[in-house]
């Protein structure tokens, strides 16, 4: 069966490959500090079902403890090296099998091998974290090779570190009107796509959360990144099939749209 990708919003995706469910950066909150979910229903209970969960870095919108609490007992959890020291609340998640990983590590899960790769991003637990912890990406190797970039900027060795991949899940925006260092916007994500050369790509990390009271501040940074990425990717990497998903929608890259598409229909996905 081909790989199937479901985007639940922000950086939260389910990757199903070789009978194994992989969940990335689970965030199941309607509100997080000064952020609120502006688009898409909260992910359903099935979204928290996974064999392994990948956490890319320690920021609270990627390592969200209340969302991790919802995971079933026995779920494997991969977090960046140093996370247990930087985020003491992780030690209370004794229902999970937690492993700290570094770039270059490989973890077998069912028929999959999850390879940890570097990312260019501030990996500390902000705003108070002093403990250094790397930001990571992951390559899920099964029937397909799927790259989950987490949060990252462009870096010189990106293509070398990631290697050959079939599908790339790339961040194309953020949760506020401005993106700082260590992020991809639609243009930089299109450049990453050109460097990586996968067969398919799914844009993530945009159009979900926004600061409370700032709906009118640079709203195009909330609405536009997905469509901009599609347009720019067509120019920079025309050989790559880009799948623009609505919240809760699924795709089987390399095939036609999956038959079990859920969530928003096309009329809800206008930008």
pLDDT digits (tens, 9 = 90+) for 204-253: 999 999 999 999 999 999 999 999 999 999 999 999 999 999 999 999 99
Rounded to whole angstroms, how far apart are CA atoms 257 and 24? Answer: 21
Predicted local distance difference test score (pLDDT) of residue 181: 85
The per-residue pLDDT for range 135-156, each reduced to its tens digit, is 999 999 999 999 999 999 999 9
Segment 13-38, tens digit of pLDDT: 999 999 999 999 999 999 999 999 99
The whole-number pLDDT of residue 259 equals: 33
Q: What is the pLDDT of residue 264?
A: 41
Q: Output the pLDDT for position 128.
A: 57
Higher pLDDT, 227 or 258: 227
Dihedral in degrees, nearest 10, Cα atoms 237, 240, 244, 249: -160
Cβ of 12: how many Cβ atoms within 10 Å?
25
**241-242, strands of its sheet edge to edge:** 106-109, 112-118, 136-141, 145-148, 167-171, 200-204, 241-242
How far is 123 from 136, CA to CA, in rounded Å?
8
Query: Does 132 score more than 60 pLDDT?
Result: yes
pLDDT of amino acid 131: 64
Tell me the pLDDT tens digit for each residue of 78-127: 999 999 999 999 999 999 999 999 999 999 999 999 999 999 998 777 65
pLDDT of residue 47: 97
pLDDT at 269: 35
Classified as helix, coil or strand, 45 is helix
Question: 130 pLDDT band (50/70/90 cuts)?
Answer: low
């Amino acid at each position: 069966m081909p790989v199937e990708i479901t985007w639940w919003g922000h950086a939260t995706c389910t990757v199903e490959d070789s009978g194994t469910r992989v969940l990335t950066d689970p965030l199941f909150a309607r509100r997080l500090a000064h952020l609120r979910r502006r688009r898409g229903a909260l992910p359903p209970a099935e979204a928290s079902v996974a064999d392994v969960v990948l956490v890319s870095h320690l920021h609270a919108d990627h390592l969200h403890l209340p969302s991790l609490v919802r995971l079933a007992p026995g779920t494997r959890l991969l977090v960046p090296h140093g996370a247990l020291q930087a985020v003491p609340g992780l030690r209370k998640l004794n229902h999970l099998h937690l492993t700290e990983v570094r770039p270059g590590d490989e973890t077998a899960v069912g028929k999959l091998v999850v390879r940890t790769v570097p990312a260019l991003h501030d990996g500390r637990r902000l705003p108070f974290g002093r403990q250094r912890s790397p930001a990571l990406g992951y390559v899920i190797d099964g029937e397909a090779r799927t790259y989950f970039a987490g949060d990252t900027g462009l870096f010189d060795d990106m293509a070398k570190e990631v290697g050959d991949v079939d599908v790339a899940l790339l961040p194309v925006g953020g949760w506020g009107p401005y993106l700082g260092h260590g992020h991809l916007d639609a243009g930089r994500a299109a450049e990453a796509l050109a460097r990586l050369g996968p067969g398919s790509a799914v844009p993530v990390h945009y159009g979900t959360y926004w600061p409370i009271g700032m709906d009118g501040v640079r709203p195009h940074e909330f609405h536009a990144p997905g469509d901009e990425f599609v347009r720019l990717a067509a120019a920079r990497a025309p050989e790559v099939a880009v799948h623009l998903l609505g919240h809760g929608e699924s795709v089987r890259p390399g095939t036609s749209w999956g038959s079990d598409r859920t969530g928003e229909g096309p009329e809800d996905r206008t930008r």
